[in-house]
Amino acid sequence: MNNLLAKKQTGKTCVVCEQIKWKGIHLYTSFICIDCEHDLIITDTDDPKYKYFLKQLKKITKPEIHS
């Protein structure tokens, strides 16, 4: 419980850079920090970083809807 409280106070873990950050966006159940969001937007598809971003973004899963 104490670890969970500490994590809430320090931010969220970015799914791309895997660092704890304060600002960013939530995509389904994942968090992307503002720095990675900016890098994603400006990266060309022929840049080697683009493949890394794709690999990291594949970790994001859409939550299932249970009825």
Residue ranges covered by each domain of the chain? 14-57
Question: d(Cα 3, Cα 66) in Å, to the nearest integer?
Answer: 30
Residue at 45: amino acid letter: T
Count of Cβ atoms closer than 10 Å to residue 14 Cβ: 20
CB atoms within 10 A of CB 47: 12
Local structure of 31: helix, strand or coil:
strand
Query: At which residue do the structure tokens 């809807």 appear?
Result: 65
- In one-letter notation, the amino acid at residue 35 is D
What pTM was computed for the model? Answer: 0.73
pLDDT tens string 55-67: 999 988 877 677 6
The predicted pLDDT at position 65 comes to: 75
Bridge partners of 24, per DSSP, are 33
Q: What is the pLDDT of residue 2?
A: 52
Residue ranges in the chain modelled with pLDDT below 70:
1-10, 64, 67
